[in-house]
Structure 1
Amino acid sequence: MGDTENATPCPDRPDNTLQAALEGASAPPPPEPPDCPHCALPQDRYRTLYDGHWVLLESRILVPAHTVPPRRRWVLTTDGAAMNLWDAEPIPGTRCRIAHRMVCPYLPREDPWPWTTALRQENNRRAQRLFNLPDDWALPDAG
């Protein structure tokens, strides 16, 4: 028989933290606001199938899954969690979400798709509006 006394037990599941990081599931959990920590734009935050990990998905963007490259397709499960489809071929007609990090104007570009480039430019314009207020701008009086 073989020597099994020194064998380290193998974990049942892969390291959730590493897998979540690879997929970009690094959003701050509630009760923190679901804003991008880089550009401050509000996003849709969803829990993932990795315990304790959340992902920011681009709000109001739902695209045909076949137009998004593998490992960038996020779908919502019936219980409201976000799941990355990885290399799975989507069923025809499936629509998916994309992670905000793909189109955040303050993060390095991940993929040079024309439509994500356009969305990144729009997010940049929206983020600049958050910080570049006119000089004479002020909150209205509460009186």
Structure 2
Amino acid sequence: MGDTDDTASCPDRPGGDSDHLAAAFHALLEGATAPRPPLPPECPFCELGQERYATGYAGHWILLEPRILVPAHTVPPRRRWIITSTGTAMNLWDAEPLPGATCRIPHRMACPRLEPEDHWPWVTALRQYNRQRSQRLFGLPDDGLPDTG
């Protein structure tokens, strides 16, 4: 109250930093979590060198697989990155790629030290539901289904 101006710390008030918070949230959602320069462009998990690009989110960088261009239609939505004419990486989100378009992929999709991302969470939920259902129906132990392979 009083003489202090706290609008910069209150995202709900005009002039607050809600735009900055939204940008930071989207950067994290898109995986723009690469180490900033002057740190080396290495994955913090596997320590492999990658290509680091600035994103449209101020202060956020992304590590992309080096020298890898893939047909965009083979990459799940929200994982397709292009490099703009200014050298900034841009996520195409859900945009349908044009025929013959190529894109870059984030290193976190191919990092050998991270669990593979599940691009369709509803399938994971369905898989877990089916696992529980089969355990109940067939009286299987909680440690999992028998290996049939």
Q: TM-score, normalised by structure 2?
A: 0.66
Is there any run of 5+ residues in structure 1 with no aligned partner, and where?
1-6, 113-143
Pairing 1:39–2:42 present: no
Aligned match of 1:72: 79
Pairing 1:22–2:29 present: yes
User: What is the SS of the residue equivalent to 1:15?
Assistant: helix
**Two-structure CA RMSD over aligned residues (Å):** 1.8
Contact 1:74 1:84 in 2 (8 A): yes
Aligned match of 1:61: 68
How much has 1:12 moved relative to structure 2?
A: 5.3
Higher helix share: 2
Change over 3 Å in CA distance of 1:111–1:60 after alignment to 2: farther
User: Which of 84, 87, 98 is 1:91 aligned to?
Assistant: 98
Change over 3 Å in CA distance of 1:69–1:79 after alignment to 2: same
Alignment partners' CA distance in 2, 1:110 and 1:32:
26
Contact 1:74 1:97 in 2 (8 A): yes
Is there any run of 5+ residues in structure 2 with no aligned partner, and where?
1-11, 120-149
Question: Relative contact order (C-alpha < 8 Å, sep 6+): which is higher?
Answer: 1
User: What is the SS of the residue equivalent to 1:75?
Assistant: strand
Amino acid at match of 1:57: L
Change over 3 Å in CA distance of 1:58–1:20 after alignment to 2: same
Pairing 1:8–2:19 present: no
Q: Percent identity?
A: 63
| Structure with the greater alpha carbon radius of gyration | 2
Q: TM-score, normalised by structure 1?
A: 0.69
